């Protein structure tokens, strides 16, 4: 059988189409755009590092442009999203709750995210906590006093924080909102009063099939191993599922320059005859789906990337919180930055470009406009760049005011 042949650039463009990153926003963002973007990605990974902007906001900004940070909390509090362990901790469309429920019913399989011994040893205290929430309503870990002489670090979380986290992993509590990005917990029965495991639950096999299907749609084009990583699926029947999908016309094989045989989701089949070029420029979060699988980013974009915030400063190759630079279908560089909120300035410590990047006037204009828009969204009125690479030094301003 003859397969469609794609250039590497076309494969990248198809992936970015699937992720909502091939075109810049053409109008002011609406609340529904946030939900659409999350559905398109299937998952929005949560991380609390706030050097430039919290990761979920940055991932959304890259796709829908400027929007109030409160929208994400609104979507959560209104029940359009829920939180749970998927790729990692993620915001997930509410319709996909059945896909993750089996993990809640077997939390021991989550590893460090659930401590059965802790739950057993603190059974009485946890029962009292659940009764407190039932009688008094939602709680935060900050509502409970920390024990004296506690040491920093996950292993010394104050007991009630550990209770809440374990109950969350077991699906007994759900996150109903966030205050200053801190979780607010309530009883699952109060959040989803109509849910019945016997009526609405899926078997693990069914749930895995649905998660693989979401992954295929959100990736657009993929190798089998990329598919399983999206929801961190272990021992998933990927090969068997791909065979079924091929028979049903839900995926097809394509030959990609340098990469060999990949699979294309049927939602993108209509674009095969003339794959549109990507025109979007954006800063990506380290936890963006496009780069969260480092091996995929290396294979598809020839981009060697890892997050170095947990690496000692002396051993870092680039910087603490380095953001990949997406430009018109390619990952062309990265930059280390922080938002100086006190002085309303986006401070870029350094920009690095990938080998072979052609620095055109259009590239410079796109980069400067992208930095300005991002800084303005975060409330800054100026941008400062401490170190430009050789190809940009002298051709691009290192400091400017935002109009």
Burial class (CB in 10 A: 0-12, 13-18, 19+), 261: exposed
Residue 364: its pLDDT value, please?
98
| 83-121 residue pLDDT tens | 999 999 999 999 999 999 999 999 999 999 999 999 999
Q: Are 80 and 93 in contact (CB under 8 A)?
A: yes
- Give ∠ CA 222-224-230 in degrees, rounded to 5: 75
Residue 151: band (very low, low, confident or very high) from pLDDT cuts 50, 70, 90: low
pLDDT at 181: 87
pLDDT at residue 146, as a whole number: 65
Range of weakest confidence among 59-73, 74-88, 154-168, 296-310: 154-168
* Rg of the Cα atoms in the chain: 22
Helix, strand, coil shares of the chain, percent, nearest 5, are: 45, 20, 35
Confidence (pLDDT) at 365: 97
Other CB atoms within 10 Å distance of the CB of residue 134: 12
pLDDT digits 0-9 by tens, 177-227 = 998 889 999 999 999 999 999 999 999 999 999 999 999 999 999 999 999
pTM given for the model: 0.94
Sheet holding 4-6, edge to edge: 4-6, 251-256, 260-265, 221-222
Q: Residue 174 forms beta bridges with which residues?
A: 186
Nearest to 286 by CA among 274, 278, 294: 294
Query: Phi-psi bin for 280: left (phi > 0), alpha (psi -120 to 50), beta?
Result: beta
pLDDT per position as a tens digit, 10-69: 999 999 999 999 999 999 999 999 999 999 999 999 998 889 999 999 999 999 999 999
Task: Label residue 403 by pLDDT band (50, 70, 90).
Answer: confident
- Spell out the domains of the chain, with CATH numbers in brackets: 1-279 (no CATH), 306-401 (3.40.630)
Give the span between the Cα atoms of 88 and 336, in whole angstroms. Answer: 24
DSSP assignment of 205-266 equals: HHHHHHHHHHHHHHHSEE-HHHHHHHTT-SS--HHHHHHHHHHHTSEEEEEETTTEEEEEEG
User: What gap in Å lies between CA 358 and CA 230, rounded to an integer?
Assistant: 32
Report how far residue 264's alpha carbon sits from residue 255's, in angstroms, rounded to the nearest whole number: 10
pLDDT for residue 157 is more than 70: no
Q: What's the confidence (pLDDT) of residue 154?
A: 39
Q: Please name the residue ranges forming H helices in 96-158.
A: 97-105, 116-121, 123-136
Q: How far apart are CA 295 and CA 291, in angstroms?
A: 9
The pLDDT assigned to 386 comes to: 97
Secondary structure class of 11 (helix, strand, coil): helix
Q: Is the pLDDT of residue 156 over 50?
A: no
User: How much is the pLDDT for 155?
Assistant: 40
pLDDT tens per residue across span 318-375: 998 999 999 999 999 999 999 999 999 999 999 999 999 999 999 999 999 999 999 9
């Amino acid at each position: 059988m003859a397969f469609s042949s794609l250039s590497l650039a076309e494969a990248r463009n198809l992936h970015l189409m699937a992720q909502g990153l091939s075109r810049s926003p053409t109008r002011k963002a609406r609340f529904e755009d946030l939900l659409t973007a999350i559905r398109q990605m299937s998952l929005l990974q949560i991380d609390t590092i706030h050097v430039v902007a919290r990761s979920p906001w940055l991932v959304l900004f890259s796709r829908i442009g400027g929007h109030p940070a409160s929208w994400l909390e609104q979507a959560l509090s209104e029940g359009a999203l829920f939180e749970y362990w998927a790729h990692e901790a993620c915001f997930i469309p509410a319709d996909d709750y059945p896909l993750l429920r089996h993990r809640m019913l077997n939390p021991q399989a989550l590893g460090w995210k659930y401590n059965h011994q802790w739950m057993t040893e603190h059974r009485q205290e946890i029962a009292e906590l659940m009764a407190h929430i039932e009688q008094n309503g939602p709680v935060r870990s900050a509502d409970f006093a920390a024990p004296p002489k506690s040491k920093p670090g996950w292993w010394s979380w104050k007991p009630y924080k550990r209770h809440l986290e374990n109950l969350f992993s077991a699906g007994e509590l759900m996150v109903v909102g966030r205050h200053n990005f801190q979780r607010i917990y309530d009883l699952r029965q109060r959040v989803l009063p109509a849910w019945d495991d016997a009526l609405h639950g899926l078997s693990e096999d069914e749930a895995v099939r649905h998660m693989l299907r979401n992954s295929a749609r959100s990736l657009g084009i993929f190798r089998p191993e990329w598919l399983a990583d999206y929801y961190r699926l272990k021992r998933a029947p990927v090969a068997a599922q791909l065979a079924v999908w091929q028979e049903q016309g839900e995926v097809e094989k394509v030959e990609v320059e340098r990469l060999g045989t990949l699979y294309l989701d049927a939602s993108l089949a209509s674009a095969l005859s003339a794959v549109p070029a990507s025109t979007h420029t954006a800063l990506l979060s380290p936890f963006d789906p496009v780069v969260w699988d480092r091996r995929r980013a290396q294979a598809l974009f020839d981009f060697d990337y890892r997050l170095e915030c947990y690496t000692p400063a002396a051993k870092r190759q680039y910087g603490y919180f380095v953001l990949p630079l997406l430009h018109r279908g390619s990952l062309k560089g990265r930059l280390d930055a922080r938002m100086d909120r006190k002085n309303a300035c986006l401070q870029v410590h350094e920009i690095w470009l990938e080998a072979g990047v052609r620095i055109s006037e259009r590239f410079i204009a796109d980069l400067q406009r992208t930095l300005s828009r991002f800084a303005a969204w975060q409330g800054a009125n100026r941008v400062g760049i401490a170190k430009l690479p050789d190809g940009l030094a002298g051709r691009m301003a290192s400091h400017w005011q935002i109009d």
